[in-house]
Amino acid sequence: MTTRPPAQVGQAIDAIDTPALLIDLDAFERNLKRMADHAAKAGVRLRPHAKTHKCAVIARRQMALGAVGVCCQTVGEAEAMVFGGVTDVLVSNEIVEPSKIARLAGLARQADIATCVDSSATIEALGAAARAAGAQLRVLVEVEVGGNRCGAEPGRPTLELARTIAATPGLVFGGLHAYHGRAQHIRSFAERKGEADSAVAKAKATKELLEANGLPCELVTGAGTGTYRFEPMSGVYNELQAGSYVFMDADYGRNLNDDGALFADFENSLFVLATVISTPTGDRAVVNAGLKASSVDSGMPTVADFSDVTYVGASDEHGRLDLSKTNRRLRVGERIKLIPGHCDPTVNLYDWFVCLRGDRIESLWPIAGRGAI
């Protein structure tokens, strides 16, 4: 069930029901342009990951700046994108359940749809579903390049899967999906680059093997917000999948740049607006944003604008703030903005983005892919 919006267009920030998910439109738009400009300068395609925002409005804005389409992780997310007007979607995951394969094939009659495999088990099922739907599916081989998650081993195992895809009616071999998820949050710049370079080497060797065996590999796609500088400059990757750059979060903010400074290539544009509901002691305050308002899988949220106020604990409906290092005294009813520890699962807790220009609500965008499987 979709909840009613927490505010109305034209209202001021103080009128928003909390907790609510805010987008600072000025920072958000700068982030979109910065990544679009980077991809254009590097000469690679940009296919942002929509699992970050799950919102077709944002996907279309990314495409208006040059993105070729988006990635999704689930068929439900892909449906939300296509039904919202997105015409090119890569489901960058293995889809194995028959019902989901059928949905994916049906979606391919409405848009350009691709998906990934890392074993031969589902290739024939994908082909049969595509043929039954009168559609064509692009299928990429997901290659294990260091994330230790899904992915066929580089080299000959990937070659054999690519051959099987190319020989299956209803399917088209779409290239290599070579995403190194674990590398995105390695704090050290040098170590993060080293992991990205290792992924590039594995993808390069595999691509060359495919082509040496007469199988063109026109696409190598991957990279993320943490490594977006590295893969596009390799001459191997020609599509960039970064997603979190649109919002950023507290965890990405802990990465380091090459000069040792904190990663600040993109701005925080996503916030959880919370209300102070209790100030029981001078060194403690409580807000109405706990586990149901912000994901803590990558650490607690941080308090925007007040570096000396620390969010130290969350329960279902409560967030505890430590005021022991500040002279500031919060009052009951005061609003504060929190920077989520991890933007993707935090977005999945909400039905609406409240989009602000300054302190006024300019737009309300539905998070149509929330919880979509």
- What's the pLDDT tens digit per position in 328-349? 889 999 999 999 999 999 999 9
293 HSE (CA, 13 A, CB side): 28
User: Who's near 173: CB < 8 A, 6+ residues apart?
Assistant: 138, 139, 140, 141, 162, 165, 166, 215
- Phi first, then psi, for residue 143 (nearest 5°) are -105, 135
- Give mean pLDDT, residues 58-79: 98
State the pLDDT at residue 24: 98
Which of 90, 77, 86, 73 is CA-nearest to residue 371?
A: 77
- What's the pLDDT tens digit per position in 86-142? 999 999 999 999 999 999 999 999 999 999 999 999 999 999 999 999 999 999 999
State the pLDDT at residue 329: 86
Q: Tell me if the pTM is above 0.85.
A: yes
State the pLDDT at residue 90: 98
pLDDT reading at 1 higher than 70? no
Q: How many CB atoms lie within 10 A of CB 248?
A: 24
Q: Is 343 helix (H, G, I), strand (E, B) or coil?
A: helix
- What's the pLDDT tens digit per position in 233-274? 999 999 999 999 999 999 999 999 999 999 999 999 999 999
Tell me how far apart the alpha carbons of residues 230 and 245 are, in angstroms, rounded to a whole number.
15
Q: How many CB atoms lie within 10 A of CB 262?
A: 11
